[in-house]
Structure 1
Amino acid sequence: MTCWDVLGLPSDADGRTIKRQYATLLKKTRPDDDPEGFQRLREAYEEALNWQQWAQEQDTATVTEVVASTVVAPVAADTLQAHYQQAMAAGLGLEFEVALLKRCIADDEVSEEDRRWAFETFQWLSAWQRLELPQDLIDALANRCKNALQYSLALAMAQRDEAGFLAAYAARFDQPWLKQPAHTQWFNQMLATMLTESHFWSPAVFEAVRAGQGWHGSEHGCPEDEWQHLLRRQQGPVFMAHQRALAATAPDTPQQRAARLLLAPMSLGQRRAFAQRLSEPDWDACRTLAATLKADHPEVAFAMPGGTPYFWQDWETAFDTLPLLLAIVVGCLAGALFQAPWQAGVLVSTAGDAFAWSIAYMAGGALAWQVWRPLAHRLRVLDERLAAKLPRWLSPTRLPLLPVRDLIPGAAMSIAISLQFGPAAGLTLVAVLAAVGAGKRRARLSVKEWAAIFPRKAMGAIGLGAIAFALVFGALKYLDSRHQVSRNQGLQQWTERVCSRMPRNAEACQAPATHAQWYGQEATQ
């Protein structure tokens, strides 16, 4: 007699049925009345539970192997349906579904047909899915589906593939899980963010998404911040055409000057030279235009120097005064040395005086510039018209020199040092400025300063400058030393030098000293 015969149950009874039958029979077979019968019942009960647990483990392993073999090698949907029916017949429908869910999450080789069958059969990610499914698996499945959909759309945008994006967007109808409100809201937000931040913009893509998502009227479903950006980007061709037209016209207004700095086809050196002519209202216009380009026209912003519309920020506070300062110092030094008596031993002191005067000219020029610069900005329109009549070779950066802003201050400084140190000083100042300008014309500058890109070379240039200064100073000192007399050379009176050792009545000491007697050997040099 088997344990099933004792319990009166079939061999495929589950654990719950076995426990209920045991409780029922236990009321009829008490240990006090029938100890042997109770012992047989207890043994049959334990054997049936052990058998049922073993059979369940075997069936679960079998079902798992069936699921694994099914999804690894693509099979027809009816085959997968047959396996599911077998699991259901064995009471292992939940186990089958969980195993298949794990494979769909972890295995990229699961066929699309099998995935579609699983979603349709089990209604995953919907309100009708099993409540017994582990939540972590449901969340992992949702993330996988979202990532796959987002990747296909983002890849098309990155490749600037308009047709590919439209095809991927149309495939959303094959994703029934998107019908759930939470997933629909995520998809709507993801599309708005993607279109806003992408460098690629297609009016056809925007209109397709706008129609598909129902972004119309005041009750549109697009997030408000992104919606305003998208509308501006849709109107972007008109806006960019207007800004490029401003960049091509004479820079008479701050908006025109901002458009020219950011959008005109100029080299970086020309942009930097143009930036030195801007005033505070011009910089405000640059900030406004740059913010608009970054937010609504990322493709245009990415094509700018350094990949950003804010490439000019370091130029706003920078003022390229080094060429002018160098020209003032060299001009004063050259003019002073040109006028100095080289045979008098005063070259070092003359150079020191010239350097001190150059500092004074720098300070005075800086104060005068603070007064002159606002006036030059007010006369900007007239200045541009006058600059158009000047020859282009005068400009150091292929930008027309502005007579009011550039030439008049430079001429005033040249005349000022010429009046004190002679024409050689003014000509030297002009020559240094011309040499620096010629170097700028040939230099290929990047967004960063040369000293920031090549710090070692910059330090080396400073070191060479210090060495050159030391050599010049040493040469002047050497020249001075050759033409300076000692305390016993030509400084005393002739009688003190010769007649102090002679008798008072010496004939040679009675007459006034001659030129040769006074200077001695020095008179022949």
Structure 2
Amino acid sequence: MNHWQLLSLTPDADERSIKRAYARLLKTHRPDENPDEFQRLREAYEASLAEARWRAQADEEVVEAPIAVSAPTPECPQPAEVSPLAIPLERLDITPAISPPEPSMGQMQQWLAEGKDRQLVDALRVWMASDWLIPFERRQQFEQSVLDWLESAPQWSPAFFDGVCKVMGWDEAQGTLPCEYWRWDRLIRRCEVQAMEETVRGDLARFDADKIHGQAAALLLKPMSDHRRRGMADYFTGLDWQRFTQLAQTIECQYPEVPQRLGLQPLDNWRDWLPASSYRGVYLFLWLTLSALVVSSLLAVPAKRNGLASVVILPLMMPVLMWFGMKAYQFWAMVAVAAGRLDVLLSRWLLPRRWYRQGAGLLVLRHILPSAVPAALACAWSGNVPWLRWVSPVVVFLGTIYFTNSALSGGKVSLGARALRAIKLKVGRLPWHMLKREGILVLMAVAAMAVWIHLHLKAVV
């Protein structure tokens, strides 16, 4: 394959066509990736360029030569025909000087600092199409200059960076990068951070405009009072909580610098604000403790010890009673939400900080007062056992508050759950899901109450 075939040109191609073909093939035959292919391309380019320049020079000499030609003499013999490929390239380099295109590089750098993205992209397009950048070394130096501009510029948009990459021919998928991967990854991350900042800024602006859109970003980042944040969270839908969780996790794990760039401070306890996934610990505790209390009160009275049917039926009827209690609590919760400002104020004054958690944890009207209802039932169902009448309301009240607080912990993983997970990994696939923290504590409470009942019955007999 000769040098014309390597450039995909005909032997009569002019100098401009040769330069265009060389610039086109240079994109796929880079010296840092294929040095052998680049060397053959460079040799073909120089040979074709030399032949085209020789042909152009020969045409000019034929036009300007005189008509009379003296015959050769022994003193002045006729010069032999010289092949154009035998002429050194330095003697054939008659290319006129090419000046850099306009605008200048200093002007383009100033446009980048001023945020004139469109003018800069158009200027880069002019430079990339000019003959000034045909030499590989000059083109590489120009790309490094543009790369340095991007790294030192204080701010630019991801859309602008994408436009620059298209004009400069930078494409990570094709491996045509102007720098090392670590520098390129830093630019890509800067684009991602800028895009995330623009997204959050837009959500906050929409929230300021109508108070409807962008509530997830506002709950996480907007500075507001506890009762206002509590009131906003009470009316969140499942989709709102999904957006809130995704945004909080993205900022916490991937882009922690975004709040600082916005001049805002995110919630440090955003997981506490997540709605409770399940109240099964509360229901299981109340069912077991109240059932055990009813059975013990029946067995404590000698006249009722033979009523084994009641001992079996009453615990089975307890879920029905709890269902009615749950419906009553839902009504009470609506009342507590309406009085949210007062509830937050009382809770901040009366409850410990680790329970209150800036309005995301336990509240007096919403959680503490309803916990007194099963405690009152425990006191009423204790029968004539004096110590049980005093102990059972305290156990039921504190247990209900404890399990309610655990359910309101949101996305936090308790120490007991982590311990059980570790045991499952060590022991194997055993039914450890039945021994969660709630179940263990409930069983302990029931066992303690059973011991007390046994000792009491023994003393009576």
- Alignment TM-score > 0.5, same fold: no
- The structure whose RCO (Cα within 8 Å, separation 6+) is larger is 2
Q: Which has the larger radius of gyration?
A: 1
TM-score of the two chains, using structure 2 as the length reference = 0.42
